[in-house]
Amino acid sequence: MSDPTQMSDPTQWTLVEAADAVSSKQISARELAEACIAKSEKLQPTLNCLISLDADGALDEADAADTALARGDAIGPLHGVPLAHKDMFYRAGKVSTCGSKIRKDFLPDHTATVLQRLAAAGALHMGGLNMSEFAVGPFGHNEHWGHCRNPWNPEHVTGGSSSGSGSAVGGRLVFGALGSDTGGSVRLPSACCGLVGMKGTQTRVSRYGVMGLSFSLDNVGPLTRTVRDNARMMAIIAGADPNDLTAANVPVDDYEAATIDAQVKGLRIAVPSNHYYDGASDDVRALMEASLKVFESLGATLVTVEVPDHDILPDLAIALRGPEGAVLHQAWMRDRPQDYGAQVKARLEPGLAISATEYVTSQQIRPKITQRFVDAVFAEADVFHAPTINIPVPSIADTDVKASPNFPAVVAGMVHCTHPINYLGLPSLAVPAGFAQNGLPASFQLIGRPYAEATLYRAAAAYEAETRFFETAPS
């Protein structure tokens, strides 16, 4: 990584560089926060990635961080580092809009566990980030708060539903952000905005105090500029939580250690022969092949595999997400249907028509389907490599089809590679893979066995050290 002391603009630092600079007193937390606030105020009119900017609160936290450092207090791994998060992570007494009109004034009475853990690690809270309404939508469209814009080209989508998280981190407004991932909503904006994004093993991270969409598929994960940044945030938020008994009581590995001097010699990488390249563009396919050649040059071995059951996985995932989302929204859909955006309403309403038989069947066969995938892929490989999105990042105009007859096909194309992994419940890490012919980022995802996040971080860090795409920032 670069030397922070040699860079005139601290917003260009990585999260780890920023934390190191504050802890070594090369920069104060206030100075760092002021730089991020100024950047946010400058770019918000273009990117529309913020719903709220809490500049005063962030500066108060920064002053407290500087005071603690001056006193010699013990500090955490994110001490003085400005972050912002998708506006669906609750903070007691602070508005959490969930990107909606319906909750534009909602004041939660409790704080999400993940926010508590980041605060305990020393992070500053900059504000709430734009998102697809109620986390429904893979593009980043929002009819109430305005569409979020891609920092590489504002005419293109950010990916959703964690659209503001992708735009704010990609645009260098903050050093990291949390998103949620029900069908790809951490990985898609990471892919579109040139970032690293982790969807951990199902229930790896607590969901207490986080707006729900689909209990069976929801995940919380970080979006960052580098693999090491991501590993640091993930290690802080992962783990058991007495307030969320579904959060897995499985030890959290030292993810960050896995990224340091990472090697992949002898690593076996599975490459799919079916599904993931269906409809892939030539330029994205070429970038995927180039990324695999990098892994081979570092000593990894490629293994071609046929993935089972992927013809039915989209329907199985919808059979879970549909009813679970409809249950959460049925009262509002009945009493306030006019307050939903057209795309969101078009995706939520079909969940009311999915039968209990379909839902229960999808739940019952899920362990068997997952085991079939694990057996087919990981009997021969350590990680699975596939595109995150197998087409170039589309434009806002091409995807803003609202509730038109073409809407389901447009959505399905965007989540083609990510949605199956949510149903399988496996960890998946989106990694930048260069730039497509339209000049926007491309990305692959590394998928692992349950709770094998450290292996994914190790492989991704070795690739990143060779390619260093994170050093290229939007102009």
How many angstroms from the chain centroid is the CA of residue 4?
26
The values of phi and psi at residue 147, to 5°, are: -65, 140
* The pair of three-digit structure tokens given for residue 155, joined into one six-digit string: 């005419």
Tokens 């001097």 belong to 261
Based on the residue annotation, tell me whether 2 is a catalytic residue of this protein.
no
Both structure tokens of 334: 């009945």
Are residues 221 and 454 in contact, defined by beta-carbon separation less than 8 angstroms?
A: no
Cβ atoms of 199 and 245 closer than 8 Å = no
- Supply φ then ψ for residue 123, to 5 degrees: -70, 150
Going by C-alpha positions, the residue among 36, 45, 132 that lies closest to residue 84 is 36
The residues that bridge with 268 in the sheet, in sequence order, are 301
AA letter at 46:
T
Task: Tell me which of 23, 100, 132, 161 is the catalytic residue.
Answer: 161
Four-point Cα dihedral 431, 437, 438, 442, nearest 10: -10
Complete DSSP assignment for 125-179: EEEEEP-SGGG--SS---TTT----BTTBTTB---SSSHHHHHHHHTTSSSEEEE
Residue 165 annotated as catalytic = no
Distance CA 79, CA 77 (A): 6
For 3, other C-beta atoms within 10 Å of its C-beta total 10
> Position of tokens 């853990």?
117
Both ends of the chain: CA-CA distance in Å? 20
100 tagged catalytic: no
Closest by Cα among 214, 212, 32 to 126: 32
3-state SS assignment for residue 446? strand
Instruction: Name the active-site residue from 162, 167, 185, 428.
Output: 185
- Name the catalytic one among 28, 39, 40, 86: 86
Which residues are annotated as catalytic? 86, 161, 185
